[in-house]
């Protein structure tokens, strides 16, 4: 267990590393991170015994939390159709600002470890649960078509976001995300 002070120091290193990597990519070295976060070598290895791989995994965990955090307060309050549209607009805005690529994907493809994969799997599962909760709220309001399967619908919506973001990054064209996400949401409407 870390002390409160230890946890704060560790958090400061992770945040500093995340900002550096967002700006300069994965070529950032441990010395750059130590410089930016005023950390000694022994401190760094105290919190991240395996060095860079360890630290990058912590940064990936931070970036995964940020993927959902960036969608708040919308993602936790998908109780009306208007709120779903506001969430859609926020998602489009986020990926529009990230055309150069998602920091988390870059980290995960670099790490390619079971730990990194677990972070991603858990992220999509949490994201999926938020969407299911929102669809259930719409359902409770009687605003959805009869027989709507909230698990399927959430899966289709999440896949539209992922594919749209991916195609935006690959082609520079926003149409995929806008169209696919809007179409996926249509299935929620009565």
**Nearest-angstrom CA–CA distance, 21 and 57:** 13
| CA-closest candidate to residue 92, choices 74, 65, 119 | 74
| Position among 21, 177, 185, 188 found at the interface with its own copies (CB under 8 A) | 177
Task: Please select the residue that binds its own copies; options are 7, 8, 89, 121, rule is CB under 8 A.
Answer: 121
Q: Which is nearer to its own copies, 10 or 88 (CB)?
A: 88
Q: What are phi and psi of 116, to 5 degrees?
A: -70, -40
> Helix, strand, coil % (nearest 5) of the chain?
75, 0, 25
Whether omega for the bond prior to residue 21 falls within 30 degrees of 0, making it cis, is: no
Q: Given candidates 138, 161, 185, 188, which one binds its own copies under the rule CB under 8 A? A: 161
Piece in contact with its own copies (CB under 8 A), picked from 1-9, 59-67, 132-140, 152-160: 152-160
111 binds its own copies, rule: CB under 8 A: no
Site residues (vs its own copies, CB under 8 A)? 108-109, 117, 120-121, 124, 152-153, 155-156, 158-164, 166-167, 170-173, 175-177, 179-180, 183-184, 187
């Amino acid at each position: 267990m870390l002390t409160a002070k230890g946890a704060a120091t560790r958090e400061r290193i992770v945040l500093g590393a995340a900002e550096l990597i967002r700006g300069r990519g994965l070529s950032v070295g441990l010395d750059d991170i130590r410089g930016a976060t005023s950390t000694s070598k022994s401190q760094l290895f105290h919190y991240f015994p395996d060095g860079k791989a360890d630290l990058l995994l912590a940064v990936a965990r931070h970036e995964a939390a940020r993927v959902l955090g960036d969608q708040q307060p919308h993602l936790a309050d998908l109780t009306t159709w208007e709120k779903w549209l506001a969430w859609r607009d926020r998602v489009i805005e986020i990926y529009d600002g990230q055309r150069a690529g998602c920091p988390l994907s870059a980290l995960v493809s670099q790490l390619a470890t079971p730990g990194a994969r677990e972070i991603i799997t858990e992220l999509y599962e949490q994201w999926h649960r938020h969407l299911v909760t929102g669809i259930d709220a719409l359902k409770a309001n009687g605003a959805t078509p009869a027989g709507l399967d909230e698990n399927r619908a959430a899966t289709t919506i999440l896949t539209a976001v992922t594919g749209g973001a991916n195609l935006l990054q690959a082609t520079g064209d926003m149409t995929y995300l806008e169209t696919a996400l809007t179409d996926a949401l249509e299935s929620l409407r009565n």
